[in-house]
Structure 1
């Protein structure tokens, strides 16, 4: 079908220096209720004159809700920085009187396809600016909310629609960006792209507090902002969800559908058909105001962790809007000067065209949602899946927590059983019946896919959750294995077996053992790590078991017991009091128990450092393990005395020679340097590590046209796939892992050759490593038997490198412990 494309030159771009009032955004020939406050009357500036700060945006929404019987407002939680997460419900006053019965019937209709929905309102979730520096969305929310509250003669929309209105998906990022744009605004607006206004300082306003891209967290739901909106989503199951973004300044306006060949195969075709029909309403609205737009290009509907795609696997229709960004108040582009008010007007227009489409397509879309869930129930299996880790209850719990957040029914294991050679232990495993309403979502979460229609992806091509969490997993399990359904999911409490006058042992398998060990060391207690397996009192202990002797400590035996009891409880780990140091294997007094140094860890941040990667590491230390992490900005790094730090982490980076020389000297003097991704290149080029890299051979590209040249090169990108590696569990980097294989996420094409001595390859990809996701034939030939990790002595210190992020998007729990092993045991590698 012909692509929607409109190429008028935009005279409206030339608004630089001109004052724009509210009428610029609003439809013509509409009257407004004068008792409803305008945005300017509350925030003290016109929409688009300044970038609205989140506090002003929130204040206007509260004032609007108080003034209008069309609007109610609720608090759903707070961001990491303590900002409220508001949701407005906008509909007719009559609907508000019956809102809970409307919601209940709407949900009931997804459970019973015989319920007549022809007279029911459609539910539309409108969300703005999940990337804080894509600010035209949240600024447009001011005008959209005013219109819906004050416009007269819009009863047809309000009577037939429940609008869930989320004015700011990302309050912390929006606040950060608005501060930047406003503090750098000139009275005489300068549209030169080189002006400081358009060059945010690191890390920019795109992300939330911990520098996460929140538009990748709809499925993993690891962040408070995500959990709030996902709770609202499942409470209502909206029929349409819109997600307002920005893109490069030289672009126009994009609306979905995206590239058809890049739609996830689990998404029904009818979803895309309806999306395309909705697109005709956007086209009509943009034609009317003379704005350029395009569709069916650039973007896709593959990864279900995005706002435009997550709804598609939940019976809804997700729609992405991308507006060319002014990034400040006005900027020169290939299309002329792009002003902030113009970008806001386009977002406003798309918001209203969505509501027009919802009104006119209401019955059709409501019926589609009913059919989606009817088919889900009819195609569900009578079997179940089971996942777990017999030595790590916490990691397994957090996977179950995601499922529960998405209202997936899970059951405890009735009793311990073995399936496919794996033990699924009660309290450490969960059963998920596949004859339930959300079984399509479950399939999407555990999907394994290695063949694709298209070789290009806007985001990752694999996210298989059992691999992400490194849990044992089995499909087609009998429901007879399921115990009672879990309605109140709780993490197992930590315990200490008994008081000891000799010492305590803590296995290193549980996810939160780093938190416990850090608490022990910060208390100035001595602790040692076992370099071998052993048995004590008939119990088996793996490599990496922590031994805390009682004698010669800063606490006496009674104080130590009380402290360790509290630590075990807070960290959800098991600590065992022992009465003897005589073991089967190495004894507790053996030199094979190595003393652990209390770590003091720093990480480089700032210009040249990957913001997402560094933020994910910061989040891991701060939120998961309660460990202090000193973040040293590159702007003053060369002036910092590094001698107080035992470890320095360098995320993917581009740093200067002076900084490299400083790190080199510090490492030679005994420090542990931990690098990620392209850090490997400068570690090798500066002779800190001896690394050899593999590269794919360039294949013949005859027959490739100029038009398709970028597609050929793009197909060589590993946008995000999962690969299997063999582990040498005796090596300290692998302490705490119970299996000899581990799934790694990678989104780079950096391949390091294995060492000729196998003991120097404690982690090595298998000869056929692809578990899930896309990799080109050329890269597939190269990756086999390469290594994603290397450690080498450098002077008195250690240099350690990972080719990929072990903490990806906070949900790759399975490889989190690798970084912690470098922190506590790096000097023993």
Structure 2
């Protein structure tokens, strides 16, 4: 009966929406409304749901509400890569807004572990409604406009009660760049006579689609990693307010219905999140959602899918800050109206469900504010009393020979308000602190799980992302608290030399400095063997890959060279050493042929339909944001006419590359054979092997004649198949640090991140296996015994295959994952800068 009712609702909405007002359809029962407050239609010129609303119009409308009403205010908390404003709209009773700073301090007293406030009912509950983190899931941002209007304009007793007992913060568009990309697409293909056919262009965006931000990153995975300005701004706000409730609105497949929490059981064997959060609080709020959606006749489900194991979602990170974060997933119209198995689903229908859940959240939070406040207070108090099963009291870490990577990791910890202490060159992070659970997140590793199929990554020990040397401590001795990282990269200013400068390749920022100097016309050479030499700062040992800049070999005078070196050091905060001699104390002299001139990279990357936009975006972001180097992005449809002779390096991330026919494949092989470098990542490497561009092999499981097919239950198929997938885990490899791809590393043991099913067999050439998984490689995350024993252990992580005078570099794992793998970025950058100097011995 309910299914029939839903079909009728879908069809009726499609037919009559244009003949009714938004007040009737969306806001029934929320009046009376203050007529002095403009409705969204009065500002936009159309009813919510008739078109997709641009981000600037969303900000403009909320700004106008804040200017007109004494119930509201608005602040800019950041800007996107494309310079769109990130705004937070605050709405509450007039008296609350007048005393907002006092309310904030009263609220924070429940977070402060040194206070013991008990006035739970006296302080308004803090609610943060977050919308549209995925740009092409647009219904929630439209609902945000209606939510804001209702809270500002309604004079109903219900809304007034909410305003009295809550401060509500509305973040209408967490991902403005992606939203506007999708908005432009949906509106430009919208017909006056709406087309519901699923195959219509309106419902099928072109690559890279609007889900992601400017660099094609998924911002709903970035709360933990904090790579992008959208996330950094949001985290700063989060740690200023510590809201009691946070919403995370999404969309999913058109033939789905509606999802709200509780999710499927949490996958961790020993979750760091309190059980009270994912059981009691979720079930408490679920009753409000079910009642509200039942009243609409909307179908929904819970418990079957999604998981909150990964702490970097909008629906999980706030859980680790004493709040309740709630995920919503609405079936998407992916345009304005689309056919489904149940009839037609319309944009207004999707918006109304999101609006309904927004107000159900407010109602639940207000009616349970004492419970939420005490829960958050207990959460933070337990953080300073809780003991972990490992018995550790904290962690000690250090980063040798790379001050910029050290600085980046400490900055990262401070971003999450984790207290860090330093004594000598060692850092200590105690577990006894308010961010106890975030400390666990950064350092703990796991090998035992309740679940075997994860919605996302199952490993996120971020200390491994940064390749820091760390260990657990039973007894913690604190040094001085680190409040700033400015002094970490306090390098001695370079002194002018008339002979040579040496740049330390171990430092994370040196590749950026190298490109800067190359772009200014200077020639530098890489050391293919280590050496020790006298510098103006004393005797200094240099590792493989150290850069030599000989003054006499430049086309400019010594003074100009010095000025450029100074600028490079200042810009990238790297160690630079001056020397007046070419005679080394040990190792190669500066005139040795083991110094090889580094060719300036002229790089391109294939993008477009069939290419993994996440991996492509990671390469683009790394080079554009950290190396300050351009890379030409060649769309697949343009590859046929691209002149590859303009480039010496081509990057192919995961993709099908079905548009590359036999003629284009030969074109690629001929280009490589001339001495150029093809860098492949994950499924890009598999493609190169399958197409015989690289003469290597994939690991295959040995067949056992005794193996028989066991009969299994159909209902368990997805679980059984899913557990074999390596969805995101950390493994250890043994790296050849004498190989150009290993330059800049001192320790041959290196953590890598694997989230694919590409397994490279070690090369038959004994010099071509650059990195191989160690005998016991598993560090963190779920991996099945079958995948570990039969595929990972026997395999290589990095190979180099020769082709004519050139080479193909194959990464089985992603060295640039989510912009956060500082520890393996150097592998990729070595391929980019030193690839031309790799000679594959035969």
Shorter-chain TM-score tier: over 0.9
Spell out the pairing of 1:581-620 with structure 2 (5 A cutoff).
581-583=582-584, 584-620=586-622
Cα-to-partner distance string for 1:63-116 (whole Å, 9 max, x where unaligned)? 111111111100111100010110011111111111111111111112246201
Normalised to the residue count of structure 2, the TM-score between the two structures is 0.94
Task: Quote the RMSD (CA, aligned, Å).
Answer: 1.7
Tell me, in whole angstroms, the C-alpha distance in 1 between the residues paired with 2:551 and 2:509: 22
- State the partner residue of 2:807: 798
1:469 to 444, 448, 466: 466
Change (3 A) 1:245 1:489: farther
Determine whether 1:507 maps to 2:510.
no
* Pairing partner for 1:248 from 245, 249, 253: 253
1:702: Cα distance to partner?
3.0
Give secondary structure in 2 for the equivalent of 1:288: helix
CA distance in 1, matches of 2:710, 2:744: 50
- TM-score under structure 1 length normalisation: 0.95
The range that moved more, 95-104 or 20-29, is 20-29
* Corresponding position: 1:204 with 2:202: no
Of residues 323, 342, 366, the one that matches 2:373 is: 366
Question: Of 826, 834, 842, which residue of structure 2 is paired with 1:825?
Answer: 834
Alignment of 1:334-483 (within 5 A): 334-379=341-386, 383-411=393-421, 413-415=422-424, 425=425, 429-476=426-473, 479-480=476-477, 482-483=479-480
Moved more, 208-217 or 644-653: 644-653
Q: Say which SS state the counterpart of residue 291 (structure 1) adopts.
A: coil
The residue that corresponds to 1:422 in the other structure is none
2:167 is the alignment partner of 1:162: yes
Partner of 2:42: 41
Q: Which residue number corresponds to residue 340 of structure 2? A: 333
Candidates 113, 116, 139, aligned match of 1:136: 139
Offset at 1:8?
4.8
Aligned match for 1:679, one of 670, 677, 684: 684
Q: CA 1:166–1:672 in structure 2 vs 1: closer, same or farther (change >3 Å)? A: same
Q: Say whether 1:26 aligns with 2:27.
A: yes
What does residue 647 of structure 1 align with? Answer: 649
Counterpart contact for 1:789–1:803, Cα < 8 Å: yes
Structure 2 equivalent of residue 419 of structure 1: none
- Structure 2 residue aligned with 1:670: 675
**Offset at 1:262?**
2.6
Alignment of 1:527-546 (within 5 A): 527-537=524-534, 538-546=539-547
- CA distances 1:605-636 after superposition (whole Å, capped 9, x unpaired): 11111101111110100101101111111121
Do the aligned residues in 1 keep the contact of 2:441 with 2:462 (CA within 8 Å)?
A: no
Contact in 2 for aligned 1:675/1:801 (Cα 8 Å): yes
**Structure 1: how far apart are the matches of 2:289 and 2:309?**
22
- The equivalent residue for 1:707 is 715
- Cα distance in structure 2, aligned partners of 1:544 and 1:337: 61
Q: How does 1:83-122 map onto structure 2 within 5 Å?
A: 83-112=84-113, 114-116=116-118, 117-122=120-125
Q: Deviations over 1:559-581 (max 9, x none)?
A: 11121011011111111111111
Q: Rate the CA distance shift 1:668–1:362 in 2: closer, same or farther, 3 A.
A: same
Give distance in 1, aligned partners of 2:513 and 2:780.
Answer: 34
Q: State whether residues 494 and 566 of structure 2, in contact with CA within 8 Å, keep that contact through their aligned partners in structure 1.
A: no
* CA shift digits 1:239-272 (9 cap, x unpaired): 1110000000000000011001436711111002
Does residue 555 (structure 1) correspond to residue 561 (structure 2)? The answer is no
Partner Cα separation in structure 2 for residue 188 and residue 225 of structure 1: 37
SS at match of 2:250: strand
Alpha-carbon shift at residue 383 of structure 1 (Å): 4.0
Q: Over residues 129-173 of structure 1, what are the superposed CA-to-partner deviations in whole Å (9 max), with x where a residue is unaligned?
A: 100000001011111111111111222111111111100000101
> After the TM superposition, which residues 146-225 of structure 1 pair with which residues of structure 2 at under 5 Å, given as runs?
146-152=149-155, 153=157, 154-225=159-230
Q: Structure 1's 467 and 558: CA in aligned 2 closer, same or farther, altered over 3 A?
A: same
After superposition, give the CA deviation of every residue in 1:688-726 in whole Å (9 maximum; x if it has no partner).
111211234697663521111111001111110000000
SS at match of 1:635: helix
Residue aligned with 2:726, SS:
coil
Contact in 2 for aligned 1:749/1:779 (Cα 8 Å): no
Q: 1:491 to 1:309 in 2, by over 3 A?
A: same
User: Quick one: structure 1 residues 391 and 205, their matched pair in 2 at CA, closer, same or farther if it must change by over 3 Å?
Assistant: same
Q: For structure 2, which runs of at least 5 residues remain unmatched after alignment?
A: none
Contact between 1:716 and 1:775, CA under 8 Å: does it hold in 2? yes
Unpaired stretches in structure 1, ≥5 consecutive residues: 416-424
Give me the whole-angstrom Cα distance separating, in 1, the residues matched to 2:163 and 2:700. 59
